[in-house]
Structure 1
């Protein structure tokens, strides 16, 4: 077996192994978030939405996860004697329906995660919108990039379904690289905006914006992993397979963390910024009053 073929199979194995661990984490987060939502005092429509939205993301991740594992099971076990070996099976079955189905599920999860579904959306674009005090101008450019990313994702899935198509080369790869590039660019911009805003409030009132809050609300781990995936995808190195599989699981992991924070009642909301401002003003007003009283008592 050529070294490149061996590296690709090794990347598939490593990617699936890591994604299995992350998938287990997603299952726990969804179950725990659902429990917290069930006992929460939040409006019923909100609890139903977050439960259903998290469940939909988990379903899409399950489809993608099952597709990857089914493909590897066929390649390594059921059809290990395929003419030409595993590399020939890999090349001949990249456009198989179950593989395309898994890719489509992952792209759908990414579109739902990055996008906005109105006031109930849990993730990136809407999170940026509310953290910036419901300011529409802030999200105009990211929204345009998001639309381009969604378009490229759809085109990639359609092209990957064509006979003998390959996600790692040809037209499908060109759409794939465009999709990943736009998605990563979108996440870099929005993550930077969110981190800047949270650090601004962190200097004023740190209890609202600790390190964990900044990492989760800004989706920084997902953005960093996306940059790594884009770099390896463009180069066409075998490790891109492993990074891409893991990146696909983080598409769902980060929103599940947001939902958990919402269910726990600690997530950033529309009123958080104004609450911080009011608390800060009350604190400084109280401090000023205490200083004045001390001055009057000790002329």
Structure 2
């Protein structure tokens, strides 16, 4: 199949949901064809370490190291560090497995020595044997902050520590206005061989919007003159993973594929919905239906092939 796919592909992705399609694309495309621009709005400093949850989910997923039971972190993980930390009375609300911890320690060491997040991420993916490029949206810090009925929370405190319980009333992306696109992200979008841009089925508000908040990204996408395709993370009014539907309701939005399509108005050309939402019509958009619930590797590869076919990259 990969031999029939000549163009380069750029995918925008958050963590778990987006990583599923990213894995399918990685398995279908030839080495070097795919660049995944990862959300770093979830990044934070914890226990003195730089943690990049969405980048790590993409790394573990594409390297075959992800935990299919928990849905996050590494498989066959051990927890000696967390047990010892708990014994000492340390903060344990954000769980760091021993293997996962090694990644954060090495990333922090490299960053503190002057390397960029792009450089560290590229070295990690090469070391893990990943053929597709994984690049942060920016090497500058952009931090998602969630305004709730209890006040403002940094994203991980809202998402993990408080388990998305507070009602969301607004969002902000601190540092976005001063950020610039990571060099590899800019290069991928300017590549003359670029054939399509794919927005993976990640949370539009918490995972994709931080990427789009980086100055120049929307303009770069608009200048590409290639199909821009988004896959809905909402199926029949329900989120496949995470707090998307809950948050949409709290923000006064109807949790539906149609609402997601409206959110991406002016940015995308093709919108892929699940078969449960077949028949959806959106002015100015080509809406197509496919099985989008990716339970198995075959499902992920199947959806990747379908998405690429919509961009004229099928074979």
Q: The TM-score by the shorter chain falls in which range? A: under 0.3
Q: TM-score, normalised by structure 1?
A: 0.22
Greater length-normalized contact order (CA 8 Å, ≥ 6 residues apart): 1
Q: TM-score, normalised by structure 2?
A: 0.22
In our comparison, the structure showing a higher alpha carbon Rg is 1
